[in-house]
Chains A and B, each alone.
Chain A
Amino acid sequence: MAKAEDAGINRRDFLKNAAAGAAVLATPHVAPARPTETNLAKNPPPMSREAEVETPAPVEVLTEERSGSDFMIDVLKSLNIEYVCSNPGSSFRGLQESLINYGGNKNPEFITCMHEESSVAMAHGYFKIEGRPLGVFAHGTVGLQHAAMAIYNAYCDRVPVLIIGGNILDATKRMPPVEWAHSVQDAAAFLRDFTKWDDCPVSLQHFAESAVRAYKTAMTPPMMPVLLIADAELQENPIRADLKLRVPSMVLPAPPQGESGAVLETARLLVAAENPVIVVDRTAHNAAGMAMIVELAETLQAAVIDRGGRMNLPSRHPLNQTRRAYQEISNADVILGLEVNDFWGTVHSFRDQMERTSQLIAKPDAKRISIGAGGQLYKANYQDFQRYPELDLDIAADAQATLPSLIEAVKKQLDANSKSALQARGARFASARLQSLQSDREAATYAWDASPISTARLCAELWAQIKDEDWSLVSSVVNFVSNWPLKLWDFNKYHQFIGNSGGYGIGYNAPASVGAALANRKYGRLSVNIQCDGDLMYAPGVLWTAAHHRIPLLTVMHNNRAYHQETMQVQIMADRHSRGIDRAKIGTAIDDPDINYAKLAQGLGHYAEGPITDPKDLRPALQRAIAVVKKGEQALLDVHTQPR
């Protein structure tokens, strides 16, 4: 409950009362006849007797030194929020003005977005590179509704975002008609299923403590978005001179580690196993996490299957057996999942025909161990928690935080005599990895000169141009190009891959790439985005955001001119009914007319070329575009590609 002394002076009440008082003094109870404009000019009305003899009405106070939103910005600065992504809105006008003037528009800096979904997805992509959250300002009603899909993606992907929604809770302070339509009793209600925590502070000190709590909550594994409602009255009312406000100190909690006995047992099983397999997904939070995954794998000489939620393991590491996942999972006697979102799907295959069937691909007696915090805080309504996995050991802890003790336990339990066996196992994997690479390269030769351009050719040409740069693939759609980057490129640094969207909500990739590129900017990295056409068209305005804020970014369109996944889905149904598939493109094709992404991008401030249809034209176009990006600008190449 708000304390009266915390509430500050109510500006709107003050103005309203002052105006009302003046009105009472200055006008009779019976309203005079309404003067016309002509009459006023010719015959100004005489002063009333009361007005002539009474004390003049007080002058309206229309300015103030500081308002609550200044203090809110102080709080955000204390959290070291680097940017706030936002599409402007009146319910947080106080915050916005305080940020750009009082806060100097720096730490945080206001990033102008053209859709709230873009704001949140940018924050999502930024976190994947930088490892800390961005702020997002949005209307508590229409803004958060726009943002909802991106918030769901971040929730599924266990990514923290600090969202601040504006609202006017006091019904007497809402200006009709828009502010009524943009006000809400419980702004967080419809997001509560896929945010970790929310609050609606009623005083400035309450705001400060809740903001710090929100940040801590979001950043504690399992990380998720959090929402704070900043009431417009609280933002805009002056801070009373005698009000003592304080920004609370903040320390992030140590992440939860695995129970020591369970960790020892895990180590024992791994060391005793003939074919241990490590499966990683949303595992590494940063480069240190990646190094520990490598250390564990090398200590055991165990195969690692990377499900791609984060940058976990160098793509060409000899123990990276992701391309041979089926063989390794089916051959394993111990399977250790580290923050694996879908353990059931890791050990089963699933067939989508008339009768949907599944089959266990792991050995029935293979030991299954899970270490993860990601699955410890799911909600009931949305089903992203996947099918129930049967496990032999389930350790509720952050995997990266548990890795040091697990590695130590494994090293202690390893017998010196096992060295030669481990070496032999490692040699087998090294050989298999080389074979996979060779096989992938062979596969890439097919349709090499085709038009539309094969996705293999596109990715090989792109790799040739960036491999000697400090590059970062800020794209989450590698699966839509048949995973060619992961097959052909040498990923070996944490910032080179940002994983996937989490909730598979389309429209994520374009803004996430801009957010990740924003994080890369200060390090001078070359951010490269392979961009699906359908995804970009959800909210292409984010290209303007990149240009406006001088975020260097190379976008290469994977323009297959269709919602291709959905085309295949309709085909499946049409085939099932033997109705012919010639109409399967109705509702799924993005052609007639083909969208000219080069012109679109040019209109949004990018250097752009295309459509490129001849693979021989790719190399020079890429070279020109990269030269532009290296100058700190944005470039887009529209490439007509094969479906996948």
Chain B
Amino acid sequence: MNTQPYNRSAGSKEVEHKQQKRFVKGWSVLVACLIAILATSSPAFPQQTTKLGDSQNGKAVYEKLGCTQCHGAQGEGVSGAGSNAGVPRIASTRLSFTDFLQQVRKPKGQMPPFSTEKVSDTDLTDVYTYLQSLKPASEQPVSTASASKGERLYRDYGCYECHGFQGQGSSSTGGARLGPPRIPFSAFVSYIRQPTGEMPPYTAKVVSDEDATEIYNFLRSIPPPPPLKSIPLLNQ
């Protein structure tokens, strides 16, 4: 009989145990709070663009509290597939500050409540401001040539396999909706280099920064979809 432990299982168990321990200890407590926030977010939530705090401090607090571990350096989140819903994208948040605070203090979902002893309202205000600042690239139009090249690269690099030919995403592959992008280029390129979810990593050896830029430009060039109300088939 083989008495050697099965390495992969043992490794998985160890990591699982460590993750649970870390989870309970609290650095990722805020992360999970943010999961809950975005899990309940929907277009019905009002957009709030008012700058409330110090974005720079918000970034520092965001990183210090380890929000990056799950939500990524730029709040890009993690796509999940099947029953694994992943970690929501939180850049830029669409919650009102009141809802944001409510969800952090008394979250629904995976994380325990996050008290004022761990993070003050002021710091959360700054975090909120930072998250709001994480918006897609400028509204400058994308040249046709760049969009066209980006589209070719998007296909050549097989991005469409998980994300669809127009970046619409898929719940079965776990590929997030990309077009038009809702995160800044820095977050985009950061994520493809070091994805925190199921996506395989695309190193610079495979996709250069220049090619990533063109792909991002292609995604920016994708027009918004038609309004839901204009499609009778989706209202029955």
Contact = CB atoms under 8 A, between A and B. Distances in A.
Interface string A411-453: 0000000000000000000000001001101111111111010
Contact of B15 (A358, A483, A582): A358
Interface in B182-222: 197-198, 200-203, 205-206
Interface residues of B, number: 59
11 contacts: A327-B36, A353-B198, A438-B43, A438-B44, A446-B167, A446-B177, A447-B166, A448-B225, A576-B200, A580-B206, A644-B162
B109 A464 contact: no
Contacts of A441: 228, 234-235
Interface string A212-251: 0000000000000000000000000000000000000000
A331 B179 contact: no
A359 B16 contact: yes
Interface string A396-412: 00000000000000000
B160 A446 contact: no
A642 B165 contact: yes
Contacts of A567: 158, 161
A452 B165 contact: yes
Contacts of B156: 582
Given A327-B108, A483-B171, A349 B84 contact: yes
Nearest to A571: B158
Contact of B177 (A435, A443, A479): A443
Contact of B83 (A326, A445, A564): A326
B233 A361 contact: no
A482 B176 CA distance: 12
A482 B177 contact: no
B169 A446 contact: yes
Contacts of A356: 8, 11-12
Interface in B154-174: 156-158, 160-162, 164-173
Contacts of B122: none
B4 interface: no
Contact of A326 (B39, B158, B235): B39
A327 to B, nearest CB: 5
Contact of B158 (A331, A360, A581): A581
A467 interface: yes
Contacts of B165: 447, 450, 452, 642
B227 interface: yes
Given A346-B83, A350-B84, A580-B206, A482 B171 contact: yes
A443 B172 contact: no
Given A326-B80, A360-B20, A364-B20, 17 more contacts: A307-B83, A324-B39, A358-B12, A439-B43, A444-B234, A446-B168, A446-B177, A450-B164, A463-B233, A481-B172, A482-B173, A564-B161, A575-B201, A575-B202, A581-B157, A643-B170, A644-B175
Given A355-B11, A464-B233, A467-B236, A454 B164 contact: yes
A361 B110 contact: yes
A600 interface: no
A326 B84 contact: yes
B29 to A, nearest CB: 14
A357 B12 contact: yes
A637 interface: no
A346 B83 CA distance: 7
A578 interface: yes
A350 B175 CA distance: 16
Contacts of A461: 233
B231 interface: yes
A324 B234 CA distance: 20
Interface in A453-488: 454-456, 460-461, 463-464, 467, 479-483, 487-488
B233 A442 contact: no
Interface string B18-38: 011001000000000000100
Contact of B173 (A305, A568, A578): A568
B46 interface: no
Nearest to A619: B233
Contacts of A581: 157-158, 206
B173 A446 contact: no
Given A443-B177, A447-B166, A576-B200, A359 B172 contact: no
A345 interface: yes
A445 B225 CA distance: 6
A446 B178 CA distance: 10
Contacts of B175: 644
B24 to A, nearest CB: 8
A112 interface: no
A584 interface: yes
Interface string A322-359: 00111101110000000000000110111111011111
A18 interface: no
A157 to B, nearest CB: 18
A479 B167 CA distance: 18
A81 interface: no
Interface in A361-388: 361, 364
